[in-house]
Chain A
């Protein structure tokens, strides 16, 4: 009875969901960061962190976080102080907002929310324009990147930020085009709706070209290797993060890993059947979603360990000359199939 009352209160549900999303937003990047430490190390025949927390260095990321908090928060003399301090937050807030709309499971069978059936489920919020929201809000991060680069008053920071902006413009297009083909096939912009539409088959099969383009474009969007020209540490030190220290630098790193998790989650929802499993249907949907997100995030780490960084012009060439035309053809084919069948 108590529970009934509690869940019928929209504010309580809202607070609960917000807390859950926030906790996921803070823990998932840590887990991913640890997996990257270990996976990358073993791919290079190393062991990675082994000391922190005694057992295979499980607490390394927590120790790193504590270290970041303890460090001095330095703002360069020449920097534009307020913009410089604001930039990491501009970067991290959009990334955290993406987690609000990721559906981890199917809609609840019975729902007591005032909005009616379909409003409850393993997600923070079910927007009708979920995919639009995700793609729009994740593009805001680049403003934070530009702010950081410009306000640092450092040539490396500025080069990194400009590169980041150019990269985002180039790769936002194939990302959106690939995602819109999926939306077209599912007939809805809602992420929950797209997940539901994959009950029969995953969209990765008809949309294989779109999936590959989406993954490549996500990597570039996140400035992850082999597309990490904005932070190319052998050329421009650390790009827009060059002048940052302490917790502000930590926020940039957190946003990078949170970005990997969120874009993997979006790719899972769009292409890999969201919460729909195979062979073992008794495993609950959220577990499936998490497993797929984990697998896709591991792919990101695997790619980092394998491929060297592309050159800046190669990156632009790849987007404008290959990915965008292929994505357009993909949309065209999806349209034709949608109309004909």
Chain B
């Protein structure tokens, strides 16, 4: 391998290592894992393990019947864990039209949360996600 190729390879490796954390942080990331069952019990919620930067959130809920009405909520909680910075109203997410639901609110560095209010007749799976631009 020539000297310049070695430098090229070393540059590629350095760039790849620099990209790794970027790839992990930018874009949509699951909150609480995919396929969670927010309806498993009343008031169930999922949130990020730590305060993280989120610019918006969304929630996919498997199409189900009967619909349970306006039941799902998004929130951003301060690092103290006890106070909301922002909280959405309730969303019905039931039909193919209704999923996903977006909440285009920038939360900054907070716990990002998806929650449900009451137990629906069916128990659909949900995927809560947050978007990060950093």
Partners in one complex: no
Binding site for B on A (CB under 8 A): none
Please give the residue numbers on chain B whose beta carbons come within 8 Å of chain A beta carbons, in ascending order: none
